Structure 1
Amino acid sequence: MTAKNGTLHRTTVPQSLVDPKIWAKQVAVGTSHLAPAHAEVLSKITTPFIHAIIDSYPAPRKASFMNGRVLLVGDALAHLRPHGGYSTSLAALEAGWVGELVSGEMSIAEWERRVTRLVYLWWCRGIWYGHSLLRAGSVWEFVLSAVYFCAA
């Protein structure tokens, strides 16, 4: 990611360093493809910054430590792609399962199995959404890619 002054950045081009020509192209594309409310917000951004969309999935096999006294949930367990809105949803679901764990409705082994499998599933789904939405030429192509992805 290169700033307008030629400086390379690993994940973020800071405010005021985004090349105005590149930003103008992005606004043009965004305002023609986004929903009207989002296009309006995009068109009003005067000093943008650009951040790479990344995720890190450490393939967690463990989400509990110290005999279940330390539990990893949400971003502490895995940082998923932000455009999917997964982090908040995942943390909320895991918190609900913590309630079941604390009340004795679920064992620590079951809780850990659920959260590690769910993180893996949502990580795969985020990768699929990103790739499929960028490459799909039609709704049917998008649906067929989902069928293929789920079957793989």
Structure 2
Amino acid sequence: MTPTLNGRIQTRLVILGIIGVLVALVLTPVLPTGPLSLVQSYRITLSILLAVVVAGVAWELLYHFLQQFRWEKDWPTLFGLVTIVNEGLLMWVLVRHTTIVLPSYLRPSLPAFAIHFTVTWLAFWVFVNGPVRVLLPRWRFNGGRIV
């Protein structure tokens, strides 16, 4: 079964809410954030994660529109992995060059952002393409819906 729009949004929200928070909790203390305190570093990583979740819903709407032009109405798995590039670039612009996500005094460095975003994205992608199919066996038959 091809995941439906509702299923993809639910999967993104739930898995990023669980895996994303766990990755942020483990990874934040070792990120190269410079003179920022640990509390400020957690504020940065969790704010970026929240922004990724919110922007992800908009991405899913765009992806759904583009998928309507494909015969199968779905992406190959590799396309799901490659979306790290466009989503990462958008998040970097929102985080670094606007005050929508974070105030200007809490902007992360490029290495800290790149490490956090890449590790979180890869953990999300691996989890969705592996363990979620074992932990939630009806997930794929319900169009990717969790609830």
TM-score normalised by L of structure 1? 0.33
* Higher relative contact order structure (alpha carbons within 8 Å, sequence separation ≥ 6): 2
**Structure 1 or 2: more strand by fraction:** 1
**Structure 1 or 2: more helix by fraction:** 2
TM-score normalised by L of structure 2? 0.34
- Greater CA radius of gyration, 1 or 2? 1
